Amino acid sequence: MKNALTIDVEDYFQVSAFAPYIRREDWDCLPCRVERNVDVILALLDDADTQATFFTLGWIAERYPQVVRRIVDSGHELASHGYGHERASDLAPGAFREDIVRAKHLLEDLGGVAVRGYRAPSFSINGNNAWAMDELQDAGYAYSSSIYPVRHDHYGMPDAPRFPYRPRGENGILELPPTTVPLFGRNLPAAGGGWFRLLPYEVSRWMLRRVNVSERAPCMFYFHPWEIDAEQPRPQGLSTRTRFRHYVNLQRMPGRLRQLLTDFAWDRVDSVFLGEP
């Protein structure tokens, strides 16, 4: 069974947890690592003969158009992570519409391909801003992967379905949730991110295999380019929690990804969930 491998293309200083410490207007002044890190990921995927989906920020694409072209030229799916990494839950409908349309047009112009998928920064679509799904559909997106059915202090909608569904009805946009495993009365995150770095690799492998084998369903996995970069700059003044979450086991991430690519079969989101070649 093939699973969907996804990369959220943003740089280390753009993560939502850093927002209280790094001003958005200072982003252009900070050393950018994303181009180097995406190249490392592309080489890793090429070695494993694997294709993936890259949910790419418009802000990154605008400044590093060669990154977009290399993603597309390597046979991967180009998708949208919005323009400026603003949480959907922090935006009014008009501002959200402007963000997702701007990102889609920019990515399509640079990549020369249709952009059909979207992932909200920090999985920031939930029951309080379900209107965002209508905006995505109106903007021409075919699917979203923005509702994480977990309980978390920064995001999550724990009562949402665990497998693909259409939140706005049978004619609405398709939502593809990141993978979870029900255990001890709650959904445990099994889709990557900080939990993949924190937990022993064997635990993540067990959870993904359980979904594939016991539930006979493909998984949705994600990571970020900055997660393979243990040498990234370290902003000062971070809280203990933020520092731990961001930097835990970064040095182990490349090896774990290589093992993950060996232990499971992976492909683009549109191939796995939309049945497209």
In which domain, by residue range, is 62 found? Answer: 2-273
Overall number of domains in the chain? 1
- The SS3 assignment for 188 reads strand
pLDDT of 39 reads 98
Listed residue (118, 88, 99) closest to 16, CA to CA? 88
pLDDT of 185 reads 86
Determine the Cα–Cα distance for residues 72 and 88; give it in Å rounded to an integer.
26
- Characterise 32 by phi-psi region: left (phi > 0), alpha (psi -120 to 50), beta (else): beta
- Characterise 206 by phi-psi region: left (phi > 0), alpha (psi -120 to 50), beta (else): alpha
CATH of the domain at 223: 3.20.20.370
pLDDT of 217 reads 98
Give the number of other Cβ atoms within 10 Å of residue 205's Cβ. 17
pLDDT of 276 reads 77
pLDDT of 155 reads 72
Spell out the residues 6+ positions from residue 96 whose beta carbon is closer than 8 angstroms to its own: 88, 132, 135
pLDDT of 237 reads 93
Strands 2-9 and 53-56 turn out to be: parallel
pLDDT of 153 reads 66
pLDDT of 226 reads 98
Determine the Cα–Cα distance for residues 277 and 274; give it in Å rounded to an integer.
9
pLDDT of 238 reads 93
Listed residue (87, 174, 168) closest to 131, CA to CA? 168
pTM for the full model?
0.96
- Provide the CA 189 distance to its chain's centre, in angstroms: 14
Q: Which two tokens stand for residue 236?
A: 């000062």
Determine the Cα–Cα distance for residues 110 and 46; give it in Å rounded to an integer.
22
Work out whether the CA dihedral 191, 275, 50, 215 comes out positive or negative. positive
Query: Which of the residues in the chain have pLDDT under 70?
Result: 153-154, 277
pLDDT of 184 reads 85
